[in-house]
Each structure stands twice: as structure tokens, then as C-alpha cells.
Amino acid sequence: MTISGIATPGKIIAVHLNYPSRAAQRGRTPVQPSYFLKPSSSLAASGATLERPAGTELLAFEGEVALVIGEPARRVSPDQGWSHVASVTAANDFGLYDLRAADKGSNVRSKGGDGFTPLGPNLIDAASVDPAALRVRTWVNGELVQQDTTGTLLFPFGRLIADLSQLMTLETGDVILTGTPAGSSVVMPGDVVEVEVDAPDAAGAPSSGRLATTVTEGMVPFGDFGSRPDVDDRQRIEAWGDARAAGLDPGEAPDAAPPAFELTDELRDLLASVGTATLSVQLRKRGYTDVFIEGVRANRPGARVVGRARTLRFIPFRPDLFARKGGGYNAQKVAFDTVGPGEVLVIDARGERGTGTVGDVLALRAQVRGAAGIVTDGGTRDFDVVAAMDIPTFSQGPHPSVLGRRHVPWEVDVAISCGGAAVEPGDVVVGDGDGVIVIPPALAWDVAREAAAQEAEDEWVARRVADGASVDGLFPMNAEWRARYEAEREEERR
């Protein structure tokens, strides 16, 4: 069997999560890639039909970039990985959520059905394109529903190939499906799904062409042997993308997971408009007194940061541990290589300022990936260069020594202590000239709103003091001053 010039591959390997947009939708960001296999019998060409099995309801599409291996790869480095790709094309990684429970995570039936892996229609020569400048788009009945670029990937193509080749030989013709961006959803019989991969900035703007699949209704029911299709509201929400799209009330769906916290642009702007000093007051009112990262200040005066925490933990230096965990693609490199847009990398250096924990190259990597900032309770190497970068950095100050003087990079995305404050992955981190504070996500909206209200009061008080008023009874406001303040606010609202 040949599709788009691809001989039937020995292996079809698919990546679970690789686009930050999809990771955010799922509410988890993987530290390392994970994979599953699809059978070659699931392959289909452009223009084919795909049967939604009788008695099922949750057939979902996933537009993806497919890599076709050229020269076999075994134990190659991430820098070498891309050279083993002969071509790229479009793929659609269809999945049947009705059978996810039956597979217990293997995806054998939920993603292995006949026709569940369309590829094509055309191949793009890998040597003619930048692997970080490809675009993938998906349309359903002519409406654009997915669009992203490979410049945002959590795990670049070369790294995927290097990772897989540590254990198995990637052979000529093997296919790797590299993950889907946000926007995957359910399709119905009669729907037409199209996927295209292109390189719009490359010479000639090469394209895979549109990979078209028409969904049909199956007529043969499942037998009374083996696991049968089974769905609940949680599966409906995951398949459709959210509760409303699945026709469910988010507050009433009995099996739905609670809505994941999102640091929206509105909340980010609100937090950026208030000071950490004010936020600390509001947190103290709620019993949170140890949320300030002690001893850390902005490397560049005036810098501010708001984002969600990604964490990196160092342990004290020991030669044997450093030999085992300090070299190669260690936890420090993983953290800087996977931090996502809008995230703040928070580093637990145990308050040890006698060595650098971030330098110019790693800071640049975080900046290129769109990170919101870097916070470490250790030192900064290449201090002047790092301080001058666009990405805000907060540390205990400069130190020229390398990491191995005092630290072993140990693990990422775990609960840590930074400057005496507990930080969990996903916490909200806010920093300004007063320092850095950590906010539990469940409190973020309430704290931000009340901090904004408090700062409005403080500004009003400051104007009264500037006009010559005594602080006695004004700061904090007694009943008389409070009445004046409320009256003026009411007048402004009219």
C-alpha cells in the first residue's frame, strides 16, 4: 500500500501533547514527550471516507504535521534529528473517545481503526523548509478550526527523533505524528475535514495540499464480546473541547472535571496594575503570610512580571550526583527548553547566591519561547546581558560562577521552595520593584480585584495628604473620611 509516495511504514508513532495551546486546553503541560503507536492498517489517502462506528458519538479530528523518516536514526542527538527526516506532510489523527476507557491509555482501538490516520496528499521535501516555520491548519466543512505553527512546539522535531531513537531504530518510511494544536473537536457523519501543512515563508511556499476526509455513518453494530463503546460527560467535554460545545452546563455536568484555572488577559492586566505590596496585604487578610519570595529583586529596575509558575529544583552539589544528573540534557536545560508562553520559570536554588543559576544563553532561550519571566533565589551569571534582555528576571544579584559550584539540577515541575515561599507549578507569580509574590490560583481573581480597590483608596488618600491633610484618621480611613471617599466615588460613577 502506498499513500502520497509513502510506502507502508513499519511504525506510526504519535505524540500525545506538543503544542502549548493544546496543553493549556488539557490543563497540563508535559515535561517530556510521551507517545503511542498506530497500526499501518489505519492509514488512508486524501479523499477517503471514514466510518464513524455504529453506536458511537465522539469521533474527533486532530490536524497534525507528519514526519516521514529518510535515513534510519539510532541514538542520534537532538541537533541531528531533523537530518533524518526525508519529508513532511499533513495527517489527521482521528480518535474515538467512546473507546478510550476500553484502551486504558494505549489508544489501540480508540485511534487504531481503519482509516483513522489519513496522510497526504503531497510530500514536502524536509531539506527545503525550516522545521520551526511550518504551519498546520484544519477546516471542518470549510470553516477554519485549527491553526498553529511549529515554532511554538514544546518538543521540537529533532528532539522527538533523538528521544525515540534512544530505544528503537527509526527506519526509512516510519511516520511520526507530532501532536495537534487547540481546536480539535467532534465531527458528525456528512462532515468534511481538511488538513494542510505548509511553509508560507519558504521559497515557493511548499504545501502538502489539503488532506480531505469525509465522515460517514457506520451500519454494523459492535458485538456482545469485548469492550463496548461507553461515554460520560467528562469524555464529551474532552472530545468537544469544553462543556458548552458538548451541550452541557459547566456548572451541572455531573462527571465533568472542575473548570481549569486560566490566567486570562483580563486577570493578567489587573494583576499588572497593582503592586506586590498591595497584593501581600490582601493575601495576609486571608491567612497567607509566607508567599513573598525573600531576598529576590528585579535585575533591571522597573521590571514587572505576571505569569504562571513552571518550577525547577536544584539540590546541593555532590560530585557523584552531578556526574549522574548534571550533564547532558539535564533538568535545567529541560526547564528552559520547555517553558511556555506567559509562564514564569521559578528556580529553587535554596537561597544560595554564591553561584549563577541562569545565564545569557538560557535566559535568551526562555525569551524566545515567550516566557513571561525568570525568578531565582540564587545568582545570575552574565548579569548585565541578562538584565538588558526583554524578559524580566529576578534574582539575588550577580555571580560569575557556573552552576556546578554549588548545585545539581535535579527535577522540574514539582512543588519547590523559592526564597522561603512554597511554589507549585501553575501558581500565579507577580513581581515588581518590591519583589516577587506567589498567589494560589483559586485566590487570584478575588485578590486582584480587592487589591485594585485598595490601591484606588490609597491613591485618594495620597491626594488628600498632598493637599495638606493629616494622616490621623485618614490612613487608615475612619468613618468620616470613609463617608467622604464613598460620596466622591458615587459622584464619579454618575
Residue 215, domain member (yes or no): yes
User: Quick one: 192 and 309 in the same domain?
Assistant: no
User: Quick one: 114 and 204 in the same domain?
Assistant: yes
Q: Concatenate the DSSP letters of all residues of 60-107 into one string.
A: E--EEEEEEE-S-BSS--HHHHGGGEEEEEEEE--EEGGGHHHHTT--
Res 230: pLDDT: 85
Q: Which of 198, 229, 260 is the last residue of a domain?
A: 229
Domain region containing 204: 2-229
User: Quick one: 78 and 211 in the same domain?
Assistant: yes
User: Quick one: 302 and 223 in the same domain?
Assistant: no
Contacts of 172 (CB under 8 A, 6+ apart): 69, 70, 71, 72, 86
Residue 23, domain member (yes or no): yes
Specify the number of domains making up the chain. Answer: 2
| Global model pTM greater than 0.85 | no
Distance between CA 429 and CA 344 in Å, rounded? 7
Instruction: For residue 121, say if its preceding peptide bond is cis, omega within 30 degrees of 0.
Output: yes
Res 165: pLDDT: 96
Residue 194, domain member (yes or no): yes
Q: Which of 439, 465, 485 is the last residue of a domain?
A: 439
The phi, psi pair for 154, rounded to 5°, reads -70, -35
Averaged pLDDT in 10-residue chunks for the chain of 494 residues: 68 93 79 91 94 93 96 95 96 93 80 94 95 95 94 92 95 96 94 96 94 94 83 85 80 53 90 93 90 95 95 95 90 92 96 93 95 96 96 96 91 93 94 95 90 86 89 83 80 70
User: Quick one: 101 and 187 in the same domain?
Assistant: yes
Res 232: pLDDT: 83
Residue 458, domain member (yes or no): no
**What is the residue type of 7?**
A
User: Quick one: 317 and 205 in the same domain?
Assistant: no
Where residue 15 falls (left for φ over 0; alpha for ψ -120 to 50; beta otherwise) is: beta
Res 255: pLDDT: 47
Res 434: pLDDT: 94
Res 256: pLDDT: 45
* Angle value at C-alpha 415, between 409 and 419, nearest 5 degrees: 75
User: Quick one: 211 and 314 in the same domain?
Assistant: no
User: Quick one: 299 and 222 in the same domain?
Assistant: no
Residue 265, domain member (yes or no): no
* CB-based contact 92:180 (threshold 8 Å): no
Q: Which of 206, 229, 252 is the last residue of a domain?
A: 229
Cα torsion through 248, 252, 254, 255, rounded to 10: 50
CATH number at residue 396: 3.50.30.40
**What does the radius of gyration of the chain's CA atoms come to, in whole angstroms?**
26
Where residue 98 falls (left for φ over 0; alpha for ψ -120 to 50; beta otherwise) is: alpha
Distance between CA 369 and CA 431 in Å, rounded? 20
User: Quick one: 207 and 91 in the same domain?
Assistant: yes
The owner of cell 478510550 is 100
**What is the residue type of 291?**
V
User: Quick one: 92 and 176 in the same domain?
Assistant: yes
- Cell for 233? 460527560
CATH number at residue 140: 3.90.850.10
Distance between CA 294 and CA 478 in Å, rounded? 33
* CB-based contact 155:18 (threshold 8 Å): yes
